[in-house]
Homo-oligomer: A and B are copies of this chain.
Amino acid sequence: MRIGILGGTGPEGKGLAVRWAWAGEEVLIGSRDAGRAQQSAQEVLALCPGGKVRGALNSEVAQQGEIVVVAVPYQGHKETLTALRPALAGKILVDVVAPLAFSRGRAKALPVPEGSVAQQAQAVVPEARVVSAFHTISAHDLLTPPSPIECDVLVCADDAEAKKVVMALAEKIPGVRAVDANGLECSRYVEELVALLLNINRVYRGSRSMVRIVGLAGASSARP
Protein backbone atom coordinates (compact mmCIF):
# COMPACT_ATOMS: atom_id res chain seq x y z
CA MET A 1 0.00 0.00 0.00
CA ARG A 2 1.44 3.37 -1.00
CA ILE A 3 0.92 5.83 1.86
CA GLY A 4 1.31 9.54 1.17
CA ILE A 5 1.88 11.94 4.06
CA LEU A 6 1.00 15.60 3.52
CA GLY A 7 3.19 17.65 5.80
CA GLY A 8 5.46 14.65 6.29
CA THR A 9 8.39 16.83 7.32
CA GLY A 10 6.92 17.54 10.79
CA PRO A 11 7.72 15.18 13.67
CA GLU A 12 4.33 13.38 13.70
CA GLY A 13 4.27 12.81 9.94
CA LYS A 14 7.91 11.79 9.84
CA GLY A 15 7.41 9.47 12.80
CA LEU A 16 4.50 7.67 11.13
CA ALA A 17 6.58 7.41 7.93
CA VAL A 18 9.38 5.71 9.86
CA ARG A 19 7.06 3.15 11.44
CA TRP A 20 5.26 2.28 8.22
CA ALA A 21 8.49 2.09 6.25
CA TRP A 22 9.76 -0.24 8.97
CA ALA A 23 6.66 -2.38 8.43
CA GLY A 24 7.48 -2.63 4.72
CA GLU A 25 4.97 -0.11 3.38
CA GLU A 26 5.84 2.30 0.59
CA VAL A 27 5.79 5.85 1.94
CA LEU A 28 5.76 9.23 0.18
CA ILE A 29 6.74 12.20 2.29
CA GLY A 30 5.09 15.41 1.15
CA SER A 31 5.92 19.04 1.65
CA ARG A 32 5.25 22.32 -0.10
CA ASP A 33 9.00 22.34 -0.70
CA ALA A 34 10.40 19.42 -2.71
CA GLY A 35 13.86 19.88 -1.21
CA ARG A 36 12.60 19.66 2.37
CA ALA A 37 10.52 16.60 1.46
CA GLN A 38 13.61 14.87 0.07
CA GLN A 39 15.65 15.79 3.11
CA SER A 40 12.98 14.31 5.42
CA ALA A 41 12.89 11.17 3.29
CA GLN A 42 16.66 10.85 3.84
CA GLU A 43 16.16 11.22 7.60
CA VAL A 44 13.51 8.51 7.56
CA LEU A 45 15.80 6.23 5.53
CA ALA A 46 18.57 6.78 8.06
CA LEU A 47 16.23 5.43 10.77
CA CYS A 48 14.93 2.69 8.51
CA PRO A 49 17.63 1.52 6.10
CA GLY A 50 16.29 -0.11 2.94
CA GLY A 51 12.81 1.35 3.43
CA LYS A 52 10.68 2.33 0.45
CA VAL A 53 10.57 6.05 1.13
CA ARG A 54 10.82 9.14 -1.02
CA GLY A 55 10.03 12.82 -0.81
CA ALA A 56 7.81 14.80 -3.18
CA LEU A 57 5.59 17.84 -3.37
CA ASN A 58 2.31 17.58 -1.43
CA SER A 59 0.46 17.72 -4.75
CA GLU A 60 2.29 14.64 -6.09
CA VAL A 61 1.86 12.83 -2.80
CA ALA A 62 -1.89 13.45 -2.85
CA GLN A 63 -2.00 12.17 -6.43
CA GLN A 64 0.14 9.08 -5.97
CA GLY A 65 -0.78 8.01 -2.42
CA GLU A 66 -3.35 5.24 -2.18
CA ILE A 67 -3.97 6.29 1.40
CA VAL A 68 -3.24 9.92 2.22
CA VAL A 69 -2.40 11.20 5.68
CA VAL A 70 -2.77 14.88 6.51
CA ALA A 71 -0.22 15.96 9.15
CA VAL A 72 0.11 19.69 8.51
CA PRO A 73 -0.27 22.28 11.28
CA TYR A 74 -3.91 23.13 12.00
CA GLN A 75 -3.36 26.64 10.67
CA GLY A 76 -2.66 25.24 7.17
CA HIS A 77 -5.13 22.35 7.24
CA LYS A 78 -8.08 23.80 5.36
CA GLU A 79 -5.99 25.53 2.72
CA THR A 80 -3.87 22.44 2.04
CA LEU A 81 -6.87 20.16 1.59
CA THR A 82 -8.84 22.67 -0.48
CA ALA A 83 -6.00 22.85 -3.01
CA LEU A 84 -5.67 19.05 -3.22
CA ARG A 85 -9.37 18.16 -3.28
CA PRO A 86 -9.51 16.66 -6.79
CA ALA A 87 -6.60 14.30 -6.10
CA LEU A 88 -8.14 13.07 -2.85
CA ALA A 89 -11.55 12.02 -4.19
CA GLY A 90 -12.44 8.46 -3.22
CA LYS A 91 -9.29 7.99 -1.16
CA ILE A 92 -8.90 7.21 2.53
CA LEU A 93 -7.80 10.49 4.09
CA VAL A 94 -6.28 10.00 7.54
CA ASP A 95 -6.45 13.17 9.62
CA VAL A 96 -3.99 13.38 12.52
CA VAL A 97 -4.27 17.13 13.12
CA ALA A 98 -5.14 18.61 16.53
CA PRO A 99 -6.41 22.21 16.72
CA LEU A 100 -3.92 23.53 19.26
CA ALA A 101 -2.75 26.91 20.40
CA PHE A 102 -0.29 27.68 23.17
CA SER A 103 -0.42 30.49 25.69
CA ARG A 104 1.84 30.91 28.71
CA GLY A 105 3.21 27.46 27.92
CA ARG A 106 -0.19 25.79 28.22
CA ALA A 107 -1.79 23.95 25.34
CA LYS A 108 -5.36 24.87 24.53
CA ALA A 109 -7.77 23.26 22.09
CA LEU A 110 -9.20 25.77 19.64
CA PRO A 111 -12.84 25.61 18.62
CA VAL A 112 -13.30 24.31 15.07
CA PRO A 113 -16.38 25.57 13.23
CA GLU A 114 -17.13 22.13 11.76
CA GLY A 115 -16.89 20.50 15.23
CA SER A 116 -13.46 18.94 14.74
CA VAL A 117 -10.52 19.08 12.37
CA ALA A 118 -11.53 15.72 10.91
CA GLN A 119 -15.02 17.03 10.20
CA GLN A 120 -13.41 20.08 8.61
CA ALA A 121 -11.50 17.71 6.32
CA GLN A 122 -14.72 15.94 5.42
CA ALA A 123 -16.42 19.27 4.70
CA VAL A 124 -13.55 20.42 2.47
CA VAL A 125 -13.20 17.08 0.64
CA PRO A 126 -16.67 15.48 0.77
CA GLU A 127 -15.52 12.81 -1.73
CA ALA A 128 -12.80 11.50 0.60
CA ARG A 129 -13.21 8.73 3.16
CA VAL A 130 -12.02 10.63 6.21
CA VAL A 131 -10.60 8.75 9.20
CA SER A 132 -9.36 10.49 12.35
CA ALA A 133 -6.44 8.76 14.11
CA PHE A 134 -2.92 8.95 15.62
CA HIS A 135 -3.48 12.19 17.57
CA THR A 136 -2.35 10.88 20.92
CA ILE A 137 0.69 8.84 19.89
CA SER A 138 4.00 10.46 20.81
CA ALA A 139 6.04 11.68 17.82
CA HIS A 140 9.19 11.19 19.88
CA ASP A 141 8.35 7.54 20.38
CA LEU A 142 7.45 7.08 16.72
CA LEU A 143 10.93 8.34 15.81
CA THR A 144 12.70 5.63 17.82
CA PRO A 145 12.03 2.43 15.87
CA PRO A 146 11.67 -0.42 16.39
CA SER A 147 10.86 0.00 20.11
CA PRO A 148 7.25 -0.91 20.77
CA ILE A 149 4.91 1.93 21.74
CA GLU A 150 2.55 0.65 24.40
CA CYS A 151 -0.51 2.80 23.75
CA ASP A 152 -3.91 2.88 22.11
CA VAL A 153 -4.63 4.72 18.89
CA LEU A 154 -8.20 6.03 18.94
CA VAL A 155 -9.81 5.86 15.50
CA CYS A 156 -12.99 7.72 14.51
CA ALA A 157 -14.73 7.43 11.15
CA ASP A 158 -18.16 7.17 9.58
CA ASP A 159 -16.87 4.85 6.80
CA ALA A 160 -16.58 1.43 8.46
CA GLU A 161 -14.34 -0.08 5.76
CA ALA A 162 -11.91 2.84 5.79
CA LYS A 163 -11.83 2.72 9.59
CA LYS A 164 -10.85 -0.94 9.50
CA VAL A 165 -7.98 -0.25 7.08
CA VAL A 166 -6.60 2.51 9.28
CA MET A 167 -6.96 0.43 12.45
CA ALA A 168 -4.86 -2.27 10.78
CA LEU A 169 -2.32 0.37 9.74
CA ALA A 170 -2.07 1.54 13.37
CA GLU A 171 -1.42 -1.98 14.57
CA LYS A 172 1.57 -2.27 12.24
CA ILE A 173 3.33 -0.24 14.92
CA PRO A 174 4.55 -2.70 17.58
CA GLY A 175 2.74 -2.29 20.91
CA VAL A 176 -0.12 -0.26 19.48
CA ARG A 177 -3.72 -1.33 19.87
CA ALA A 178 -6.28 0.41 17.67
CA VAL A 179 -9.55 1.30 19.44
CA ASP A 180 -12.69 2.03 17.44
CA ALA A 181 -13.75 5.37 18.93
CA ASN A 182 -17.04 5.63 17.04
CA GLY A 183 -17.96 8.17 14.34
CA LEU A 184 -16.25 11.29 13.04
CA GLU A 185 -18.39 13.32 15.44
CA CYS A 186 -16.27 11.88 18.27
CA SER A 187 -13.00 13.07 16.74
CA ARG A 188 -13.39 16.32 18.61
CA TYR A 189 -12.86 14.59 21.96
CA VAL A 190 -9.73 12.83 20.72
CA GLU A 191 -8.31 15.99 19.18
CA GLU A 192 -8.89 17.91 22.43
CA LEU A 193 -7.34 15.10 24.45
CA VAL A 194 -4.00 16.14 22.93
CA ALA A 195 -4.20 19.43 24.85
CA LEU A 196 -4.80 17.48 28.07
CA LEU A 197 -1.85 15.17 27.45
CA LEU A 198 0.50 18.06 26.66
CA ASN A 199 -0.55 19.78 29.88
CA ILE A 200 -0.01 16.56 31.84
CA ASN A 201 3.50 16.44 30.32
CA ARG A 202 4.11 19.87 31.84
CA VAL A 203 3.25 18.51 35.30
CA TYR A 204 5.30 15.33 34.96
CA ARG A 205 8.47 16.69 33.32
CA GLY A 206 10.03 14.35 30.82
CA SER A 207 6.77 12.52 30.15
CA ARG A 208 5.42 11.64 26.75
CA SER A 209 1.96 10.76 27.92
CA MET A 210 -0.41 8.71 25.79
CA VAL A 211 -3.56 6.73 26.59
CA ARG A 212 -4.76 3.21 27.07
CA ILE A 213 -8.47 2.52 27.30
CA VAL A 214 -9.21 0.00 30.05
CA GLY A 215 -12.42 -1.90 30.75
CA LEU A 216 -12.94 -2.62 27.04
CA ALA A 217 -15.03 -5.71 26.28
CA GLY A 218 -14.22 -7.75 23.18
CA ALA A 219 -11.72 -5.30 21.64
CA SER A 220 -10.74 -6.15 18.08
CA SER A 221 -7.16 -6.75 19.01
CA ALA A 222 -5.65 -9.16 21.51
CA ARG A 223 -3.49 -6.39 22.95
CA PRO A 224 -2.90 -5.45 25.67
Contact = CB atoms under 8 A, between A and B. Distances in A.
A218 interface: yes
Contacts of A200: 179-182, 213, 216
A219 interface: yes
A210 B213 contact: yes
B204 A209 contact: no
A214 B151 contact: yes
A207 interface: yes
Given A189-B195, A190-B196, A211-B211, A204 B181 contact: no
A208 to B, nearest CB: 5
9 contacts: A108-B185, A109-B189, A183-B199, A193-B193, A193-B196, A200-B213, A206-B217, A209-B213, A211-B212
Interface of A: 106, 108-109, 138, 141, 150-151, 154, 179-183, 185-186, 188-190, 192-193, 195-197, 199-200, 202-219
